[in-house]
Structure 1
Amino acid sequence: MSAMGMLACDEFGRRFIIIKDQDKKRRLQGIDAIKSHILAAKAVSDIVRTSLGPKGLDKMMVSADGDVCITNDGATILQKMDVDHQVARLLVQLSQSQDDEIGDGTTGVVVLAGALLEQAEQLLDKGIHPIRIADGFDMAAKCAIENLDRIADSFPVSDRENLIRVAMTTLGSKIVNKCHRQFAEIAVDAVMAVADPERKDVNFELIKVEGKQGGKLEDTVLVKGVIVDKDMSHPQMPKTLKDVKLAILTCPFEPPKPKTKHKLDVTSVEEYETLRKYEAEKFEEMVDQVKATGANLVICQWGFDDEANHLLLQKELPAVRWVGGPEIELIAIATGGRIVPRFSELTTDKLGAAGLVRELNFGTTKDRMLVIEECKNSKAVTIFIRGGNKMIVDEAKRSLHDALCVIRNLVRDSRVVYGGGASEISCALAVAEEADRCLGSLEQYPFRAFSDALETIPLALAENSGLAPIETVTAVKSRQAKEKNPHLGIDCNFTGTFDMKKQNVIETLAGKKQQIMLATQLVRMILKIDDIHSPANPMGVE
């Protein structure tokens, strides 16, 4: 017998294992199984629904180790949740897919999926087969995406001010909104510095986001180069270097060790002196090899002892040690240098070049970081975030990630739609209109359900802003239908106008399309699962 179960035999002597807690599980089939899935997915959706929009509430997540994270980023909330139910985990993966592909809209996609499943449950109660519901939702999603293409506006990426307005929309619901424009400008400048307009692509590997506690959010800066959380290996080495030639090494300043399993015994003073002299000669040889190439700064992946450090100071060769693998790669890309694994392979043409290398000091904390600027490859940039504590720095990183992704998406596809629920209401009207055209078929019911589900986003935005949700959405929907104006949405910030174009609340077309497609695909997947061995807790969400 074990902690997990016990061994038993049947009447023929064949052994089988009885799993512990088997009596607490139940097998669900058919419509009951689908409704169990919907219940679990709705539980997850309801948790993040209150975080939607600029007035959305934050969630405090406490890990098993006691680490506290405060955020309203949908992907982060779901990632840190303890979810047991298999279908509820699918919603977590859905949010992660949206985050990986688009970077923004992670809360909205989960809220939309939850709303679609809620509508599907009502259709199941009417006796409509799950596959017919899924097919109807697919057709309605195509109709909504076609409508998005119709109402989308072209957006000139060359205009920096336009990009800043889009980034500000993304950051409007984040903790950094007190430095709204500053962070938007940083995100735009970072992306445009590394963007390739011809290929319409952005290499995110060239954008490094570094954070340091202390200071204010307003102290956040964009550095056209690389910031390394290290300082010079010796306090007497110069703090500022100009016209720098960097030797980037993955070999330590240490004498070679004997490649043998046998011990090296030193039994006399003479032998010790010989060994010490050999080590000193090797240290000098290594330093001279580096100096001979013309290098005036060494970036080393490994450490080196005090003797080597002192010799480097004597030979006037500044050095930085214990620089991590990803950082050393970014330095090599930025400076145009080659990573060298052996001193003997180091040559002048493998050195990196930078106009300025300096140490940054931080107030009373005396923390130091190394800034490498005016690099040969000016495309590598670093965003250096400051904040009062670790939580603010981490949330600022997540916020900037969303803004960077949105600007990248605009470089790829420059079309936009308008936020505040405006595009969802427009799509809801288009889908409802299509439902009226197919009155003779069963698909009209999934179409109308899809239309109602799309209205959940503006309803949640109005509710989270303290407005009367049904009255507000009904009024905006009525005006959109009368005026044929797809820019009308929910005035979450109480500016006095419902026109999202005037408010500059802008979202990428690619992000909105992805939301609808991913949510519909997940709902189809859930509606097709009709058999599950589920835990006793049907929701399985803590």
Structure 2
Amino acid sequence: MAEPQIAYAQDEYGRPFIVVREQGKKTRAQGIQALKNHISAARTVAQIVRTSLGPRGLDKILISPDGDIQVTNDGATIMQNMELENQIARLMVQLSSSQDDEIGDGTTGVVVLAGALLEQSESLLDRGIHPIRIADGFERACTVAVQALEKVADRVEFSLGAGNQEELLKTAKTSLGSKIVSKASDLFARIAVDSVLSVADLERKDVDFELIKVDGKVGGSLEDTTLVKGVVIDKDFSHPQMPREVRDAKIAILTCPFEPPRPKTKHKLDINSVEEYKKLQEYEKKTFEDMIRRVKECGANLVICQWGFDDEANHLLLQHDLPAVRWVGGPEIELIAIATNGRIVPRFEDLSPDKLGTAGLVKEVGFGTTRDKMLIIEECANPRAVTVFVRGSNKMIIDEAKRALHDAICVVRNLVRDNRVVYGGGAAEIVGSIAVAKAADEIATLEQYAMRAFASALDAIPLALAENSGYSPIETLAEVKSRQVNEGDPKLGIDCMGSGDNDMKRCRVFDPMVSKRQQLLLATQLVRAVLKIDDVIEQHNVDGE
């Protein structure tokens, strides 16, 4: 008896298709269960960064797939480097990125707040309250909290004069207090304030971040970090016999290479005799000299070139007393053009005196035991361009210092835009919590439950600060909250540094009003988005495997 023939589905190479029984191992979550799955994922992410909140917050060590190590407690950096598969967890990453892009500070706090709001909404779902009613209540509470913060906010008065910047320095130091660079917070706060005020337009209340460049090099200590009123580029003069400095520099900024034009065909040039080779050599030399003549005729005494040039061109530049810098990257070229009021020239034929950049001094400096060389362009035609030159013992320290400096610069930028501040240490959140709880008592509709949950969620920030500082969280929060209610003092917060004083104004702990408002708005918007997701979610059911 012949055995039955089995037909296989085959691809074009005759290989059988492998059919995997995946569909049988998937479950579908709908309704409340789907929402709880979302909330659980978001809470997990919030718990990870919760321990990094505040001046006593813990750092995280991040190891990339290729073995690079980062040690940081910057919320945005931690979130961006987490490999997350759950879509709601990725939403939390985008929430942190939004806060970082728009405000630049408060990235950890906004994630912790969003996690607390979702945690509170889970208990409301268990009580049978509809997700949309919860979201409406949260938005109503958010409005009340923002209004309460606007009532207690103080204005910070400052000017370009050195004696009227104390409040800006205090706010910048608050931002730096939780970072690795906190031991040099006085220096970094001063650098952040000076760099922002150098490029700020106080009439328009605008800060052009493009004019602030943060560069770093391994070597030295954090205290060696300096602010340069100009541009620093990690290059040196192309020939060791060129002068180390050029005064009253007229700079030709070129994006064309110092070399003869090449034929744009695939044909090759065969040289069969010494005479032909000498002709080619003479042509190249003549071309180089013609290029140098064009640069000299337009009045330039320094060339900055995006591309390289060979030894012959380099030697001719030295012979004609024309210092040059080669292989300068695109962003640096643009910054030099902005700082020196020069024009980027793509062809030698376009060179003219009006396209040259001007600077009072261009000098090559060496530092460190290896005598690394860098170029500093100072006394530029546009005095608003500045560079922060960060030093540190290793790459990890420099990277973290750059992130800390970015946060501090963003905080000062926010105060230029809106000079109102609220008090840190959880004081602002406690003010909002008290105001929302009071408003909830005056509402008869179902939203009152969501508003009370919002007030409880606001307490998560001071609770985390107290916990990370080694205090008893509930006891510490209860004491500070009761004092705020009884004394009516919105400046009372968690004494994270153990100074013995809960008055955040005396402790010099400030947060920009725009940062706190953005945290509340973004967290509330994210929670509404999550609560509205009631679609079918497919998950692998590993129990049956």
1:260 equivalenced with 2:265 (yes/no) = yes
Secondary structure, counterpart of 2:501 in structure 1: coil
Give the match for residue 198 of structure 1. Answer: 203
Give the match for residue 462 of structure 1. Answer: 466
Give the match for residue 41 of structure 1. Answer: 42
Pairwise mapping of residues 411-422 of structure 1 onto structure 2 (< 5 A)?
411-422=416-427
Tell me the CA shift for residue 475 of structure 1. 0.2
Question: C-alpha deviations, 1:268-320, integer Å up to 9, x for none?
Answer: 11111111101111111111111111111100000000000011011110000
Which residue identity lines up with residue 494 of structure 1 in the other structure? G
Alpha carbons of structure 1 residues 537 and 354: separation in structure 2 relative to 1, 3 Å: farther
Tell me the CA shift for residue 374 of structure 1. 0.4
| CA distance in structure 1 between the aligned counterparts of 2:366 and 2:184, rounded to whole angstroms | 23
Alpha carbons of structure 1 residues 359 and 25: separation in structure 2 relative to 1, 3 Å: farther
1:353 equivalenced with 2:354 (yes/no) = no
1:61 equivalenced with 2:62 (yes/no) = yes
Pairwise mapping of residues 97-496 of structure 1 onto structure 2 (< 5 A)?
97-158=98-159, 159-438=164-443, 440-496=444-500
Tell me the CA shift for residue 19 of structure 1. 6.9
Q: Work out which of the residue numbers 505, 509, 524 in structure 1 matches 2:513.
A: 509
Alpha carbons of structure 1 residues 292 and 168: separation in structure 2 relative to 1, 3 Å: same
Tell me the CA shift for residue 536 of structure 1. 3.1
Tell me the CA shift for residue 7 of structure 1. 7.3
Q: Is the contact between residue 25 and residue 541 of structure 2 (CA under 8 Å) also seen in structure 1?
A: no
Alpha carbons of structure 1 residues 346 and 182: separation in structure 2 relative to 1, 3 Å: same
Tell me the CA shift for residue 17 of structure 1. 11
| CA distance in structure 1 between the aligned counterparts of 2:46 and 2:348, rounded to whole angstroms | 57
Q: Is the contact between residue 174 and residue 509 of structure 2 (CA under 8 Å) also seen in structure 1?
A: yes
Q: Is the contact between residue 34 and residue 537 of structure 2 (CA under 8 Å) also seen in structure 1?
A: no
| CA distance in structure 2 between the aligned counterparts of 1:537 and 1:294, rounded to whole angstroms | 75
Tell me the CA shift for residue 204 of structure 1. 0.2
Tell me the CA shift for residue 258 of structure 1. 2.0
| CA distance in structure 1 between the aligned counterparts of 2:536 and 2:243, rounded to whole angstroms | 67
Q: Is the contact between residue 232 and residue 319 of structure 1 (CA under 8 Å) also seen in structure 2?
A: yes
Q: Is the contact between residue 194 and residue 379 of structure 1 (CA under 8 Å) also seen in structure 2?
A: yes
Q: Is the contact between residue 156 and residue 421 of structure 2 (CA under 8 Å) also seen in structure 1?
A: yes
Which residue identity lines up with residue 460 of structure 1 in the other structure? A
| CA distance in structure 1 between the aligned counterparts of 2:541 and 2:396, rounded to whole angstroms | 33
| CA distance in structure 1 between the aligned counterparts of 2:169 and 2:538, rounded to whole angstroms | 48
Tell me the CA shift for residue 262 of structure 1. 1.8
Q: Work out which of the residue numbers 518, 527, 530 in structure 1 matches 2:531.
A: 527
| CA distance in structure 2 between the aligned counterparts of 1:242 and 1:7, rounded to whole angstroms | 79
Q: Is the contact between residue 224 and residue 374 of structure 1 (CA under 8 Å) also seen in structure 2?
A: yes
| CA distance in structure 2 between the aligned counterparts of 1:354 and 1:255, rounded to whole angstroms | 30
Question: C-alpha deviations, 1:213-262, integer Å up to 9, x for none?
Answer: 11100000000000001111111111111111100001111011123332
| CA distance in structure 2 between the aligned counterparts of 1:179 and 1:35, rounded to whole angstroms | 44
Give the match for residue 29 of structure 2. Answer: 28
Alpha carbons of structure 1 residues 21 and 205: separation in structure 2 relative to 1, 3 Å: farther
Alpha carbons of structure 1 residues 362 and 149: separation in structure 2 relative to 1, 3 Å: same
Give the match for residue 5 of structure 2. Answer: none
Q: Is the contact between residue 460 and residue 469 of structure 1 (CA under 8 Å) also seen in structure 2?
A: yes
Q: How many residues get paired? A: 525
Secondary structure, counterpart of 1:489 in structure 2: coil
| CA distance in structure 2 between the aligned counterparts of 1:512 and 1:349, rounded to whole angstroms | 47
Tell me the CA shift for residue 530 of structure 1. 1.2
Which residue identity lines up with residue 179 of structure 2 in the other structure? K
Secondary structure, counterpart of 1:437 in structure 2: coil
Tell me the CA shift for residue 68 of structure 1. 0.4
| CA distance in structure 2 between the aligned counterparts of 1:20 and 1:222, rounded to whole angstroms | 63
Question: Which runs of 5 or more residues in structure 1 are unaligned?
Answer: 1-5, 9-15
Alpha carbons of structure 1 residues 294 and 80: separation in structure 2 relative to 1, 3 Å: same
Which residue identity lines up with residue 492 of structure 1 in the other structure? C
| CA distance in structure 2 between the aligned counterparts of 1:93 and 1:184, rounded to whole angstroms | 28
Question: C-alpha deviations, 1:363-409, integer Å up to 9, x for none?
Answer: 21221111000000000000000011111000000000001111111
| CA distance in structure 2 between the aligned counterparts of 1:506 and 1:287, rounded to whole angstroms | 56
Which residue identity lines up with residue 488 of structure 2 in the other structure? K
Alpha carbons of structure 1 residues 377 and 142: separation in structure 2 relative to 1, 3 Å: same
Secondary structure, counterpart of 1:502 in structure 2: coil
Give the match for residue 70 of structure 1. Answer: 71
Query: How does the TM-score come out when normalised to structure 1?
Result: 0.95
Q: Is the contact between residue 25 and residue 533 of structure 1 (CA under 8 Å) also seen in structure 2?
A: no
Tell me the CA shift for residue 532 of structure 1. 3.5
Q: Is the contact between residue 248 and residue 340 of structure 1 (CA under 8 Å) also seen in structure 2?
A: yes
| CA distance in structure 1 between the aligned counterparts of 2:358 and 2:373, rounded to whole angstroms | 22
| CA distance in structure 2 between the aligned counterparts of 1:467 and 1:446, rounded to whole angstroms | 29
Tell me the CA shift for residue 535 of structure 1. 3.4
Which residue identity lines up with residue 35 of structure 1 in the other structure? K
Q: Is the contact between residue 360 and residue 379 of structure 2 (CA under 8 Å) also seen in structure 1?
A: yes
Alpha carbons of structure 1 residues 537 and 436: separation in structure 2 relative to 1, 3 Å: farther
Which residue identity lines up with residue 495 of structure 2 in the other structure? D
Secondary structure, counterpart of 2:533 in structure 1: coil
Which residue identity lines up with residue 378 of structure 1 in the other structure? P
Q: Is the contact between residue 27 and residue 541 of structure 2 (CA under 8 Å) also seen in structure 1?
A: no
Question: C-alpha deviations, 1:409-468, integer Å up to 9, x for none?
Answer: 111101110000001001100000011111x32111101100000000000000000011
| CA distance in structure 2 between the aligned counterparts of 1:352 and 1:342, rounded to whole angstroms | 16
| CA distance in structure 2 between the aligned counterparts of 1:481 and 1:537, rounded to whole angstroms | 50
| CA distance in structure 2 between the aligned counterparts of 1:468 and 1:353, rounded to whole angstroms | 61
Alpha carbons of structure 1 residues 260 and 512: separation in structure 2 relative to 1, 3 Å: same
| CA distance in structure 1 between the aligned counterparts of 2:93 and 2:25, rounded to whole angstroms | 25
| CA distance in structure 2 between the aligned counterparts of 1:346 and 1:530, rounded to whole angstroms | 63
Tell me the CA shift for residue 157 of structure 1. 3.0
Identity of aligned residues (%): 66
Which residue identity lines up with residue 101 of structure 1 in the other structure? E
Secondary structure, counterpart of 1:523 in structure 2: helix
Question: Which runs of 5 or more residues in structure 2 are unaligned?
Answer: 1-7, 11-16
| CA distance in structure 2 between the aligned counterparts of 1:246 and 1:20, rounded to whole angstroms | 69
Tell me the CA shift for residue 37 of structure 1. 0.2
Alpha carbon RMSD of aligned pairs, Å? 1.5
